Amino acid sequence: MGMVGGGRGAFIGAVHRMAAALDGQIELVCGAFSSNPKKSKLSGKDLYLPANRVYKDYEEMITEEKKLPLGERMDFVAIVTPNHMHFPPAKMALENGFHVVCDKPLSFDLKEAKALVKLVKKSGLLFALTHNYTGYPLVKHAREMVASKKLGTIRKVVVNYPQGWLSTFLEKTDQKQAAWRTDPKRSGIAGAMGDIGTHAENLAEYITGLKITHLCADLHSFVPGRKLDDDGSVLLQFNNGARGVLMASQISAGEENNLRIQVYGEKGGLEWSQMEPNTLWMKWLDKPTEMVRIGVGKQSDHVLNHTRVPAGHPEGYLEAFANIYRNFAYCVQARLANKKPKKTYTDFPSVEDGLRGMEFIYKVVASSKSKSKWTIW
């Protein structure tokens, strides 16, 4: 793996490195860790990389790595930069024969997202987007419960992602994450809805297997001086006629990362929370509520393949993130060996999922500005 971004002071870069390393299938061999060449070199030194594999920018990294023989060069690029710098290295990597893992959202704008979909299809290369919440074992179990019709036809989806960390004008301080995530020049056209609303949208479509077809949105910025939305609510319609509600907020004071989804069908419902990821609640019309725990009772091989520790041991964010990296690594290995990967390892978010996320952002912003009730997706 080669990495773009994620140098000293970065949050998500370290998460990607830990997740990639968890299964011993991926080795970080090079990087362009900062737009500042000196900082990139120092970051590479922190990670004990040889100086000649730490590059001043992503252009140099991709150019020089391509010159190295197979088995020595990087096999794929992990992009962990702010949103406005997702597209350029992804484009160059794909054009030069390297697979890509990219942090979400897919790109800075919709035009770039559509271009990446075309590039991936043209190149035939692998592309993974780190919508990490899909990596949780019980999220996959929930998806199977819906797909097997245990709940009957889905009628209602409620998904909320409240945070409280931007309840104040934090971007005026030296807080790096707040500075770029609230800057439309680096984050894009949406704030909270682009940052965490896309996670909620992706989780709702992943678990239900449905697609959002219409939405009605209200976005707002509560903190004076903030340039992008810090709170939003969206009414949803799905392609089977189901209705839904999505809320994404970064000014919900006291909340941490309380992503929570409820799905209701004709026969019953389910509920899962990222704050308690080892538990899935199943609710029924004709019998008592059931508590499903990781590794307890009968679960499919696919779910067990994404379960890492014995029942009763905490399993969470990094393990879910690592499931995406592990699956991607096995698919790359299969590609290098001219083999077909096992189906269970092909389960990771794709460039098409990334395009859905970008379309969602644009439709929500358009709906919020419109005087019409519904916006067709």
Top-level CATH class of 136-313+355-376?
Answer: alpha beta
Give the tokens for residue 340: 């077909």
Query: Where does the pLDDT of residue 332 fall: very low under 50, low under 70, confident under 90, or very high at 90 and above?
Result: very high
Q: What is the mean pLDDT of residues 197-212?
A: 98
Query: Where does the pLDDT of residue 20 fall: very low under 50, low under 70, confident under 90, or very high at 90 and above?
Result: very high
Q: What is the mean pLDDT of residues 226-246?
A: 98
Whether 2-129 and 136-313+355-376 share one fold: the answer is no
Q: What is the mean pLDDT of residues 311-329?
A: 94
pLDDT of residue 88: 97
**pLDDT tens per residue across span 250-308:** 999 999 999 999 999 999 999 999 999 999 999 999 999 999 999 898 899 999 999 99
CATH 3.40.50.150 is held by the domain 2-129: no
Give the integer Cα–Cα distance in Å for 279 and 294: 7
Q: What is the mean pLDDT of residues 224-240?
A: 98
In percent, the amount of the chain with pLDDT more than 70 equals 100
pLDDT of residue 314: 84
Asked if 97 and 75 touch (Cβ cutoff 8 Å), the reply is no
pLDDT at 198 over 90: yes
Residues 102, 108, 110, 112, CA torsion sign:
negative
For the chain, give every domain's residue range: 2-129, 136-313+355-376
- What is the spatial order of strands in the sheet that 2-4 belongs to? 30-32, 2-4, 76-79, 99-102, 127-129
Q: What is the mean pLDDT of residues 161-178?
A: 95
Relative orientation angle of helices 58-67 and 87-95, to the nearest 10 degrees: 20
Asked if 187 and 244 touch (Cβ cutoff 8 Å), the reply is no
Amino acid at 143: R
pLDDT of residue 315: 86
pLDDT of residue 222: 98
Give the integer Cα–Cα distance in Å for 134 and 261: 12
pLDDT of residue 144: 98
Give the integer Cα–Cα distance in Å for 356 and 105: 10
Query: Where does the pLDDT of residue 13 fall: very low under 50, low under 70, confident under 90, or very high at 90 and above?
Result: very high
pLDDT at 9 over 90: no
pLDDT of residue 293: 95
Q: What is the mean pLDDT of residues 342-366?
A: 97
pLDDT at 312 over 90: no
pLDDT at 331 over 90: yes
pLDDT at 364 over 90: yes
Question: Of 358, 373, 367, 370, which is closest to residue 111 (Cα–Cα)?
Answer: 358
Reduced 3-state DSSP string for 214-229: EEEEEEECCCCCCCCC
